[in-house]
Amino acid sequence: MKFLGYIQNGTLTFPAVQYQLRQQFVATIKTGDHVEETLVRKGDPKTKEQLGYAFAVVVAMVKIYFDENGIDLFGCAPTARFTKEILYNACAEDDDNGRRLTLSGMDKKQAAAFIDRCTHWAATQLGLYIPPADSNWRNKNVQ
Which pLDDT tens digits describe the chain residue by residue (143 residues)?
A: 777 787 888 888 888 888 898 899 999 999 999 988 887 767 777 788 888 889 999 999 999 999 999 988 888 888 999 999 999 999 988 877 888 888 888 888 888 899 999 999 999 999 999 998 876 655 665 55
The pTM of this model reads 0.66
Structure confidence at residue 136 (pLDDT) = 67
77 sits in the region (left: phi over 0; alpha: psi -120 to 50; else beta) called beta
**Which residue type is seen at 15?**
P
CA 87 to CA 118: how far, in whole Å? 6
